[in-house]
Structures are given as C-alpha cells and as structure tokens.
Amino acid sequence: MVEVISTGCQRGIPGNVEMPLGVERLPNGNTLITDAGDEAGFGSEIVEVDPLGNIVWNYHEGLRFAHTGRRLRNGNTLITDTTNNRLVELTPDKKIVMNSDHWSGGTGQLSDGSHLHYPNEAFEMEDGTFLLTDRNNDRCIQVDREGKVLWSFGGKELHHPHNANPLQNGNILISDSDGNRILEINRRQEVVWSYGDGSTQILWWPRGAIRLENGNTVITDSKNHRIIEVSPAGKVLWRFQTEHVDKFYITHATKEATFLIACTDGHHQVIEVDRTGNIVWLFRNYRRPVSIYARLTNGFFKEIGENGWPKHWVLATRLSEGGGSVVWDQDHKPNPCPGLEYDRSGALFLQQSLMVTPGATYRVGAEIKTASAKGTACLHLDFFDSHGGSLYHAITEMPSGNLFTGTNDWTHDMFETKVPIRTTFAELRLYINDSGKVFIRNVMMNRI
Amino acid sequence: MRRKGMPIDKEISEKRKRQCLKLVEISKDIVRQAFDRFRPEELGITWTGGKDSGLTLWIIHQVCQDKGISLPKTMIIGEGDEFEEIEQFVERTKKEWNVPLEICRNEDVLKAANNTLNASIEVKALNERNRAELQRIGFEDDEFPFEAESYVGNHLMKTVVFNQFLERNKIKGIFQGLRWDEHPARFNDEYFEHKEGEYLAPDHTRIRPILHFTEKDLWDTYAAFQIPYCVLYERGYRSLGARTTSQISVEGIPAWEQDLENTEERVGRRQDKEKAMERMRKLGYM
C-alpha cells in the first residue's frame, strides 16, 4: 500500500509558478515573471501579472528552463529559452517573429561561427539590438536580430556570467557569477569598475547587478542569500536578507524605489521590498506538482512507472542542462535496478519527497554502484521549510552518504541525520554531476 | 619495556591535566544528573571496547565508586565479527571494575547465517520478531547477506539487539559514548535525548556524558589518568568497529600520536571528500 500525505497537483499547469528566475515591472504597472518550471522540466513559462495578482498574459509553448522574458519597446517579448539554447521574440498574440534557431539558414549559428550555449539574460539596447549573456560560452555578446555579433566580451575574463545589462553611460554591467565578481566594462572592453575579489565572503555566485540612478549598484548575491547595495567606492550601504534561506535570483528596481526579487524555487515567489526591507507586494501561485509520501516507497525498485522511471520517484532535470536519463541494469537480480546516466556539467537527481518528523533522527541506507563517474555521485537528503524552500545554503551542507567517484562495485552506504526543527518535508535524492553512471538498490530510511 | 595496553607513554603537562580534569568533571556531572533522574536499575551502559565507550565507562565507574554503588547493567553487542584483542580487553576490564556485563547478540540471525560472514540469510528462516523488524525498515527482498555494516545487518545486529536489551531490563536511561567531533551527524546531539517509544522500540532517554571531548581531549585524558584501552589503538587504529571493516589509519603509529585535528577519524572513501565538495559547490543556484 502506498501512503501519501499530499498527492500534489499536475505538472505543467499554466500559471503555476514553480521557479521564478526573471522579473520586471512593466510601464503599465504589471509584472512580467519568467518561470523556469518544475524540477522535472515541466511548466516553464512567461506570465504577466497585474497588481491584483491576476495573470493577464502567459506563454509556455516549447520553453525549457527559460530564464528571462523582457518586454521590448515594440510590445513584443524577448525570451531566453535557456535549455533550448535559443533566443525568441514573441508578439503579444504569441507569434514568434524571431528565433535564433533560424539564424544562418536554420543552423542557429551566429556570425562568428558559434552557437548560443545556455543563454541566461537578454536586454534590448537603444538601437534595438540585444545584449545577452551566453553563459556556457563564458561571454556576453551584442547581437542583432539576424545573429550578427556586434560586440563581445568574455573568454578568460568571465566564468559563467548570468547577467549583462547596458548602463546610461554606454558601459556594460556584468555579473561574473562563477568568478564571484561584478564588472563594469566600457566598449573598449576595459574594466572601469568592479566589486568582489573572487572570495565567496564578498560575493558568492552573484546572479545579477543593476546600477541605480544615485550611482550605487544593487547586487543579487545569490549564494550568500542577500541583496546588497554598494557605493562606487565599494562600501556596502544597504542589505536585504530574510530569516529563511532565500535563493534570490534577480533584482529589478522599480520607479517607486522598491525592488522586485525573484526567489526561484526557494520559496516559489516574487517579492517586492522597499528600502526598509518590508515586503510591499508578493506574487505566489504554487502548487506542489509531486506527491509527498508518508514513508519511503518503492525503495527496492520493484515497480516501474509508465515513463520508465522507478514508480514514485522523480527524475529531476532542473540542473541537467538538457542532459541525463534514467537507465536500468536489466541483468541485476532479482529484478532490474535503476541508475542515472549523465554526460555534461550540471547535475541530475532521482528523488522522492517524504514526510519526516522534525527533531527525530533517521538512518538512510542504500547500496550504490558507479561506472566511470568523472564527478561525484551520492545519496543525500534535503529538508524544506513551510514555504517549500530548502533549509540549506548550499548542496554541500546537506546530509549525505559517501561521495563516489570513478568506478565502484556495489557498496553499502549509510548515514544518519537529525531532522532540523523547521522542516516540513524531506527529499531523498540520488545525485550525479559531470559524466558517468550511478546505480542504486535497496534504499531504506527509518527513524531511529 | 612498558606493558602493552597501558599506560599511554605521553607527557601531559599539569596545565593540560587540569583542562582534562575539567572535561571529566563536566561528564561526571551529567552522569550524576542521570542518577538523580533514574534509579540505578533503570540505567544501562553501552560498551564496545573502543575508546569512546571506554572513557564513558571509566567516568561512570568513578561516579559509582563515589556513590558507593555498583555499575549499572552494561551491554556489549556481539556482531559475530569481533577483534580478539577487543574481547581480551573487555574480559580484563570487566574483572577489574566488576562490570555487570551482558553480551547481546541476535542469535536468531547468527544461527540463520551459520555464524558465517557473507552467508546468505533467507528471511523466512528468521523468527517472527526479526521478520517484523525487516518489514518495519522496508526491506523487500527474500534474502540478504550476513554483514554487520549493511543497513539490514546494522538494524538486526545492533538496533534490534539494543532495543531488546532495553526491553528485557526495563531500562529507562542508557549511557552512550558519542562525541560531537567524531562525525558531522553528531554536531546537534544533546547530553540527554528522550526517544519516544514506537512500534518495536521502547521509550527511553539516551545519555551522552562525553559529547564535548574532542579526539585529542580524549587521548590526553587517557594519558593523564592512565585509563586502560585496547591495544589495537597502539597499532594505528583510530576507530574500531567490526574486524573486517575497520582499517588501520596510520600503520604502527599509536592513535594519540597521529594528526588528530587535521585528518579524519574514520578511514574510508571520505578521503576525497574535499575535492568532490569543491566540484559540487560549483553547481548552479544550489
């Protein structure tokens, strides 16, 4: 018998905002939100919300893990469809008038011979061309509507940049996320201002930065879970942080001197805060698309679902950059056992959401086998607060079993952990990053 | 030549000795609180023959001597894969301190495995209690190999045996030799932790008097007060479990002479952890 304490709702329901990554306030007072979708890759969409919280426009056709939707001056919407590695421009009646896949006769090639790889942010320039961060190519580029590269900055200078936006003075403000720095570049590609020394104490994976009219810079210091305002001299003047672990992704300054902040899947919401740190507006329309089980279910993988995944388990592709699959070792006795196969940067998870008791100690165990795992594979637990946000700042803080690398035959793996008091539910996950395979069998989890 | 097994050949300054004494006093206070909360016959002690439970036992022994009472009932779990050296050490200490020792084993499982490591055990060959325990933890196969360190083995050979010891002796409070610094999972442990009873697990309180000792504190205390220990620690073991799964940390270097503060107490695959962690830290928004 399968005991479920919450059945969850369907995947991909329009308007269900699972992971807001982009946000901007439109001149008409509405808010344009980009939703990357749920952990299994469904439900990515752009939604326009009026001040009362009504969804007045939305678009989702074919989007995969979209990161930004921006309303252009002509009324169209520019979307970075990140996992599809493309940039599209859409009319209000949802007709695509530009698609980067069609560049260079349908090859999607840019004028410099490259292809977009995991584009994150795009902004419209004064002249109608676009400035975008081409994350996995470690660069930001200015392109026209035909894919002609007009300007480019990056290579060794940038490490997975996520945001580059044009400033009034003609310079470009770039969030060099894996470099833990914010750079202001002039058109001659000279660094004229920067913040952060590469250490995670100052900035840790800054996802975005904007320049205010007063000359200060507001930085979304994502992995430090804070928003900071720094002066041109580099002094921190203001800071916004919540009492939760909040995964801020991007901050947008409104005309009312408030900030719109996308809180990703941390809390599945967009908040608008004023300079006192009060939340003055909030949009949240989230229904969990997946069941929470009363106890670990199908840990011996005897049941296989119609989608080829182990029944009651979810293949989470959120960080997989379009790759990865569930594989089965058919020769395994007494029944086939599942595994994950992965082949790129990012990560892949096989997971199940579970009810747990705060304050109680649980023992988790499984047997794990790896084949040519270039990165790391492990079993870990994530715990979530009452808003559905992880209690952990980083994946490395989560309670886990052994970290497996390379090729290992079946190995017993076991760990114990005490459930934090603020926990509402847990996610048990098999994880792999980089390339290789990991197989799992005999998963058990019990209160001790 | 000094007698093997004691005392530890290490200079401990007067200052360090005073520090160790303070740590011991904190532990004794926890033990005294336990005796205030529970009657002596409601208390139990877990012992493995290892350094942590050994220090705990020594501290409880001292408090009992002060109080003029005998030691509470003490359990040691027999997993069927013991070091001979530990058995000898336990036998010697038991006599010296008059330890009321029960060696607890899951005889039903040992019989089904014919006392043979890695032998396959059929679930249907087990008694009702063990079958119920397997169902409780969600074990779904028809057989499993006899290994104390596997999830199933751990549960049947340790957890079940522990719970049965509590049940059999109506124990309300049980002493454990856990330390905060031995493992990240221990960071949030408390000196007294009440465990509510549930199906097949009795209601009891776990008492952990030596939580605050680091590994270095522990060995300095052993040296300062000439506490007996198992000879295996002289050969380079830092952590002792089952015979076939315990590994020497540094061959021939006694545990207390190793780099306790900068290396892991438990040898194993976690060696590459930092490198792996670094790779994981680079992951997107997580």
Q: What is the domain partition of chain A in residue ranges?
A: 12-283, 292-447
Q: Which CATH number fits domain A12-283: 1.10.1060.10, 3.40.50.2000, 3.30.465.10, 2.120.10.30?
A: 2.120.10.30
Domains of chain B: which residue ranges? 14-227
B159: chain A residues, CB-CB within 8 Å: 448
**What was the pLDDT predicted at B273?**
67
Asked if the Cβ–Cβ distance from A442 to B283 is below 8 Å, we say no
**B280 chain-A contacts, CB cut-off 8 A:** 376, 395-396, 433
Contacts A178 to B, Cβ<8 Å: 282
Q: What is the ipTM of this complex?
A: 0.83
| Contact (CB<8Å) A302/B273 | no
pLDDT for the residue A100: 98
Taking the CA of residue B14 and the nearest CA in chain A, the distance in Å comes to 39
Four-residue CA torsion sign, A301, A305, A311, A317: positive
Structural domain A292-447, CATH architecture: Sandwich (2.60)
A365–B151 C-beta distance less than 8 A: yes
Min mean pLDDT across A289-303, A348-362, B68-82 is at B68-82
| Chain B CA closest to residue A391 | B286
Nearest CA in chain A to B138: A444
Statement: residue A274 has pLDDT above 50 = yes
- Residue with the two structure tokens 């740190």: A277
Number of cross-chain residue pairs from A and B with Cβ atoms under 8 Å apart:
99
Residue A418 has pLDDT above 60, yes or no: yes
Task: Note whether B138 contacts A296, CB cutoff 8 Å.
Answer: yes
Judge residue A251's burial from the number of C-beta atoms within 10 Å of its C-beta, 0-12 exposed, 13-18 middle, 19 or more buried: buried
- Predicted confidence at residue B270, as pLDDT, reads 44
Cβ–Cβ below 8 Å for A207 and B155: no
Chain B nearest-CA residue for A393: B286
Residue among B138, B198, B279 whose CB faces A299 most closely: B138
Q: 3-state secondary structure string, chain A? A: CCCEEECCCCCCCCCCCCCEEEEEECCCCCEEEEECCCCCCCCCEEEEECCCCCEEEEECCCCCCCCEEEECCCCCEEEEEHHHCEEEEECCCCCEEEEHHHHHHHCCCCCCCCCCCCEEEEEECCCCCEEEEEHHHCEEEEECCCCCEEEEEEHHHCCCCCEEEECCCCCEEEEEHHHCEEEEECCCCCEEEEECCCCCCCCCCEEEEEECCCCCEEEEEHHHCEEEEECCCCCEEEEECCCCCCCCCEEEECCCCCEEEECHHHHCCEEEECCCCCEEEEECCCCCCCCEECCCCCCCCCCECCCCCECCCEEECCCCCCCCEEEEECCCCCCCEEEEEEEEEEEEEEEEEECCCCCCEEEEEEEEEEEEEEEEEEEEEEEECCCCCECCCCHHHCCECCCEEEEEEEEEEEEEEECCCCCCEEEEEEEEEEEEEEEEEEEEEEEC
- pLDDT 10s digit of each residue in chain B, 286 long? 344 556 787 888 999 999 999 999 999 999 999 999 999 999 999 999 999 999 999 999 999 999 999 999 999 998 777 889 999 999 999 999 999 999 999 999 999 999 888 899 999 999 999 999 999 999 999 999 988 778 999 899 999 999 999 999 999 999 999 999 887 777 888 999 999 898 899 999 999 999 999 999 999 999 999 999 999 998 888 888 777 777 888 888 888 888 888 777 776 444 466 677 777 777 766 6
Q: How far is CA B164 from CA B90, B195, B200, B203, B210, in A?
A: 21, 15, 9, 12, 25
The verdict on a CB contact (< 8 Å) between B151 and A444 is: yes
C-alpha–C-alpha distance, residues A136 and A115, integer Å: 10
B198–A447 C-beta distance less than 8 A: yes
Q: Any CB–CB contact under 8 A between B274 and chain A? A: no
Q: Do A302 and B286 touch (CB under 8 A)?
A: no
Among the partner residues B149, B154, B283, nearest to A319 by beta-carbon distance: B283
Nearest-by-CA chain B residue for A378: B276
Query: B142 at the A interface (CB within 8 A)?
Result: yes
Nearest by CB to B138, from A346, A434, A444: name it: A444
Q: Between A348 and B282, where is the model more confident?
A: A348
Q: Which of B139, B140, B273 faces A403 most closely, judged by CB atoms?
A: B273
B154, B189, B286 ranked by CB distance to A414: nearest: B154
Inspect the interface and report whether the beta carbons of B185 and A418 lie closer than 8 Å: yes
Which residues of chain A lie closer than 8 angstroms to B273, CB-CB? 403
Query: What is the model's pLDDT at position B6?
Result: 62
Instruction: Dihedral sign for Cα B123, B128, B130, B134, please.
Output: positive
Averaged over A183-211, what is the pLDDT?
96
Q: Do B185 and A417 touch (CB under 8 A)?
A: yes
Per-residue pLDDT, B2: 44
Q: Chain A residues with CB inside 8 Å of B154's CB?
A: 363, 365, 414
Is some CB atom of chain A closer than 8 A to the CB atom of B283?
yes
pLDDT (tens digit per residue) in A145-181: 999 999 999 989 999 999 999 999 999 999 999 999 9
Determine the residue among A376, A405, A432, A435 to mutate to test chain B binding: the one whose Cβ has the most chain B Cβ atoms within 10 Å.
A376
Residue numbers in B near A299 (CB within 8 A): 138, 140
The chain A residue lying nearest B276, using CA atoms, is A376
Q: Does B150 touch chain A (CB under 8 A)?
A: yes
Contact B154 A363 (CB under 8 A): yes
Q: Least CA distance to B202: which residue of chain A? A: A448
List of chain B residues whose C-beta atoms are within 8 Å of the C-beta of residue A417: 185
Q: How many whole angstroms separate alpha carbon B34 and alpha carbon B28?
A: 10
Residue A218 pLDDT greater than 70, yes or no: yes
Nearest CB among A247, A396, A445 relative to B277 is that of A396
* Contact state of A396 with B280 under an 8 Å Cβ cutoff: yes
Q: What is the CATH number of domain B14-227?
A: 3.40.50.620
pLDDT at residue B148 in the model: 75
- The C-alpha of A363 sits at a distance from chain B's nearest C-alpha, in angstroms, of 9
How large is the average pLDDT for residues A12-29?
A: 96
